[in-house]
Structure 1
Amino acid sequence: MDARPQIGQFVKVLRGKDEDSYAVIIDIIDERFVLIVDGDKRRFDSPKRKNVLHLQLQPAISQEVTSSLQETGRVTNAKLRYVIQKFAHAKGE
């Protein structure tokens, strides 16, 4: 797995208010920062800017999110909640 974050990739938040929750990367700002959303507290229209060091990149990328971003440039919050819930469930959490 590439050590660099990718759009659509699941992450586990290691620091901050959302610690231990999952989110999805929707944009990469630069080497150090990405924008993450979870469709719930962090909606698509107000993503959280996060230092990559404070995230644990998961070895999974949501095709639903990446294809939606490619096709329409956005993802619905419902879809984000759904893929994150499905991912967390698959991990047994």
Structure 2
Amino acid sequence: MNNQSIPHIGQIVKILRGKDAGQLAVVLTQADNKFVYIADGDKRKFDQAKKKNLLHLEAQSYISSEVANSLMENGRVTNGKLRYAVMMFRLSTESNAEQRGD
């Protein structure tokens, strides 16, 4: 996140650096001012969340309220909800691209 803004819990981010570059993930928690923990529910499960530098992430405009609410209520989220959030983001961006004629 080049503008140094800290993403919200449940926000979709695009990974810019590392072996997962180009992948999408969901922000689970904030470690500190420079790092967050992310997971996608597929290759990167909730229990094995990855600590990523904010400079290596690009925040997307989509925030999954289901993931955020689950984390707020009981501190956990299912991998299925993470996969669902990423899938919904992909579907929303694909439908937006079709509407614009991309």
Question: Which TM bucket (shorter chain)?
Answer: over 0.9
Letter in 1 for 2:88: K
Question: Which structure 2 residues correspond to residues 12-91 of structure 1 after superposition, within 5 A?
Answer: 12-91=14-93
The count of aligned residue pairs is 92
* Matched residue, 2:100: none
Unaligned runs of 5+ in 2: 98-102
Scaled by the length of structure 1, what TM-score is found?
0.92
> Any idea what SS the aligned residue of 2:25 has?
strand
Q: Deviations over 1:20-42 (max 9, x none)?
A: 11100001011110000000111
- After the TM superposition, which parts of structure 1 deviate over 2 Å for at least 4 consecutive aligned residues? none
RMSD between aligned alpha carbons?
1.5
Greater CA radius of gyration, 1 or 2?
Answer: 2
Name the structure with the higher helix share.
2
> Any idea what SS the aligned residue of 2:13 has?
strand
Residue 86 of structure 1 and its aligned partner are, at CA, apart by: 1.1
**In structure 2, how many angstroms separate the alpha carbons of the residues matched to 1:45 and 1:63?**
20
Unaligned runs of 5+ in 1: none
**In structure 1, how many angstroms separate the alpha carbons of the residues matched to 2:34 and 2:11?**
15
**In structure 1, how many angstroms separate the alpha carbons of the residues matched to 2:13 and 2:62?**
9
Scaled by the length of structure 2, what TM-score is found?
0.84
**In structure 1, how many angstroms separate the alpha carbons of the residues matched to 2:92 and 2:20?**
20
Residue 3 of structure 1 and its aligned partner are, at CA, apart by: 2.5
Letter in 2 for 1:5: P
Letter in 1 for 2:33: E
Residue 89 of structure 1 and its aligned partner are, at CA, apart by: 1.8
* Matched residue, 2:11: 9
